[in-house]
Amino acid sequence: MRKRNNRIVFYLNDEELTALTDKVQKSKFPREKFIRITLANKRITEMPPVDYGCLVFEMRRAGQNLHRLLVIATANHFFEAADSLFSGMLFCVDCGSKLNYVNEDRRNRKKACFICSAYRNETTRCSSHYIREEIICNIILETMQRIFRSVQPFEDPFIAKQREQFGIEQKRELNARKRAYDKAVSRVKEIDALIQRMYEDNVKGKLSDERYATLSSSLETEQKDLQAKLPAMEEELNRQVDQEEGLQRFIAKAKQITDLQELTPELVHEFIEKIIVHEKKYLDGKRYQVIDIYFYGVGIIKELTPEEMEAEFQKLAKQEKSA
């Protein structure tokens, strides 16, 4: 064992002695050993309190209680999703705003509904366009069931009807975009001519400098705004959407759905692009409300009528007999 023959004596004031005594007591070491460890530049950690074990036990028991509460809350549907299956997909037909999802009672989803966000912020801007989530869910499910059932046996007439619809819709949208683009281009040229004419009037003294500065600044601002919008408008106008390719993709995906019983988030977001909600109307004391369902690749689908399906069925029956 190493011999310690060197004796060191030093003096401390009351404050220093109190601090040293406090640290020694917390370390649970003798004073001499505490000083030697300190001189060796080793870190001294404080010993845990006497009731450390009791603290660990209480924490473990609290964790078990939290687990039991979680199981009870889950069983009572307390942590049901705050969002709807269709959140962010519904839009107002009048103002174009999204419909906000409102569910004040998570345990009773039957009261959950959608309301126009513009109406919620300011009631004078739009009407409520109120529609219950349960109604939307039932309409979407029934619509998709009918479409998927008709795609399998009546694929050819289904495609023909969509192609006919594409021609009408595409022509209408193309004409509207072309009119808006031509109007913007014409206005940009008109502003150039106006600014040139005002400059000539200013030079001739017919228009004061202050008036010329005010008018030209206003026109230049309008022109810059239009010129900033023109590239996007031109790109939208020139972009030719391949409706036939989108239709074929939709048919291929629809054929994979053989027995649709309930809606899932994956299914809804794979097929539905957006839902446009109209305001409710009353006819003969009954409430009616129209919604437009836009599917990816095809837009609004025109379903086959019972007469069209019957005619196709008779056609297939005749072909089988002749074969």
Backbone φ and ψ for 49, nearest 5 degrees, come out as -65, 165
Q: For residue range 95-105, what is the model confidence (pLDDT) as tens digits?
A: 888 999 888 77
Q: For residue range 28-78, what is the model confidence (pLDDT) as tens digits?
A: 778 878 777 777 766 655 555 656 667 777 788 888 888 787 777 666 655
More confident residue, 264 or 170: 264
- Separation of CA 215 from chain center: 43
Residue 11 lies in a domain: yes
Give the pairing type, strands 272-277 and 90-92: parallel
Residue 39 lies in a domain: yes
Tokens describing residue 91 = 């839009």
Q: Angle 306-322/155-203 helices, nearest 10 degrees?
A: 130
Whether 214 shows a pLDDT value over 70: the answer reads yes
User: How many degrees, rounded to 5, is the angle at CA 45 between CA 40 and CA 48?
Assistant: 150
Contacts of 307 (CB under 8 A, 6+ apart): none
Residue 24 lies in a domain: yes
pTM: 0.53
Residue 18 lies in a domain: yes
| Cβ pair 61, 75 in contact under 8 A | no
Residue 19 lies in a domain: yes
| Cβ pair 4, 39 in contact under 8 A | no
Tokens describing residue 51 = 């009731």
Residue type at 315 in one-letter notation: K
Q: For residue range 103-152, what is the model confidence (pLDDT) as tens digits?
A: 877 667 778 899 998 887 777 778 888 999 999 999 999 999 988 888 88
For residue 309, the surrounding DSSP H or E stretch is helix 306-322
Whether 292 shows a pLDDT value over 90: the answer reads yes
pLDDT at 213: 85
pLDDT at 1: 44
Ramachandran bin of 206, using left for φ above 0, alpha for ψ from -120 to 50, beta for the remaining angles: alpha
pLDDT at 92: 93
Residue 27 lies in a domain: yes
| Cβ pair 79, 73 in contact under 8 A | yes
- Under DSSP, the state recorded for 29 is S
CA pair distance 305, 59, nearest whole angstrom: 67
Q: Angle 155-203/133-151 helices, nearest 10 degrees?
A: 120
Domain count, the chain: 1
Q: For residue range 176-192, what is the model confidence (pLDDT) as tens digits?
A: 778 888 888 898 889 88
Q: Whole domain around residue 30: which residue ranges?
A: 1-47
CA pair distance 136, 114, nearest whole angstrom: 9
Q: For residue range 220-254, what is the model confidence (pLDDT) as tens digits?
A: 888 888 888 888 877 766 654 556 677 888 888 98
